[in-house]
Amino acid sequence: MKKASGERTLLASVLLSSPGPLVLGAALIYGRSSTQLADFVRRTVELAAIIVSWIVFRVLHRESEPDQNRKARLEGLANTCVGAAMLISGLAMLFIALFSENREKGNVVPGLIIALLGVAVNFWFWFRYKKLSREQPNAILEVQSRLYGAKFAVDLCVAAALLFVAVLPEAPITSYMDRGGSLAVALYLIRSGSMTIRNVQAKTEAAE
């Protein structure tokens, strides 16, 4: 029953994360905020990692007695994908924040709405995954909890930056907030991604 609950939660993560990149991709036609562009890159890469985690979890829990070495390898693969997604997203955001020259921000309201919805949804998934990983210790669920904790914090930062862009588009502080939002998101994700990958490597070395 608990395994089914974990799989359903992962599937819900995939389904609820899927519209974000599509909406933000369309919004980029009208908006030029570096934070909004960085958020699009982040959500796209994270969606791919969540899909990999869901597939691996589903494969492993369809087997009544999975081989432990194979289980460890697949869990390590899924969690490395999550860590790599955070790391790649962070590096992309860092590049955009430092080198983007766009002056016209355009309409950032769609991105702001997605970020505000993300705050609520990601908080719920963060809480849900923490609860599941306590009830049924599992490497994939544990890393998903870490991912959604990062996503929750990042969406708070993105929403604050885009709110400044939407309300005070011409104010000098807005440019700093927009770029600062991207930098804060980038550094947080680089740190979280690096820690996740190092944890996977440490567990792999310990098992050998």
Sequential DSSP letters for 66-110: --HHHHHHHHHHHHHHHHHHHHHHHHHHHHHHHH------B--HH
Q: Give dist(CA 193, CA 118) in Å, integer.
A: 19
Using CA of residue 196, residue 197, residue 198, residue 199, what is the dihedral sign? positive
Over the stretch 42-90, which tens digit does the pLDDT of each residue have? 778 888 888 988 888 888 877 666 677 777 888 888 888 888 888 887 8
Using CA of residue 199, residue 50, residue 147, residue 182, what is the dihedral sign? positive
Over the stretch 14-41, which tens digit does the pLDDT of each residue have? 898 888 788 777 777 766 666 667 777 7
Residue 5: pLDDT band by 50, 70, 90 thresholds? confident
Q: What is the DSSP letter of 169?
A: T
Backbone angles phi, psi at 66, to 5 degrees: -65, 145
The C-alpha R_g of the chain, in whole angstroms, comes to: 18
Over the stretch 167-199, which tens digit does the pLDDT of each residue have? 877 777 777 776 777 787 788 888 888 988 888
- Asked if 177 contacts 142 with a C-beta cutoff of 8 angstroms, the reply is no
Q: Give dist(CA 60, CA 3) in Å, integer.
A: 10
Record the tokens describing residue 198, joined without a space: 């190092």
* Structure confidence at residue 201 (pLDDT): 80
Q: Give dist(CA 139, CA 127) in Å, integer.
A: 16
* Structure confidence at residue 126 (pLDDT): 92
* Structure confidence at residue 123 (pLDDT): 93
What number of other Cβ atoms are within 10 A of residue 168's Cβ? 12
Distance, C-alpha 205 to centroid of its chain: 26
Grouping H, G, I as helix, E, B as strand and the rest as coil, residue 106 is strand
Mean pLDDT for 160-168 is 79
Over the stretch 149-160, which tens digit does the pLDDT of each residue have? 888 887 887 788
Tokens 């908080």: give the residue: 123
Q: Give dist(CA 208, CA 190) in Å, integer.
A: 27
User: To the nearest whole percent, how much of the chain has pLDDT over 70?
Assistant: 87
Residue 101: pLDDT band by 50, 70, 90 thresholds? low
| CA dist 158 → 80, 118, 122 (Å) | 25, 10, 13
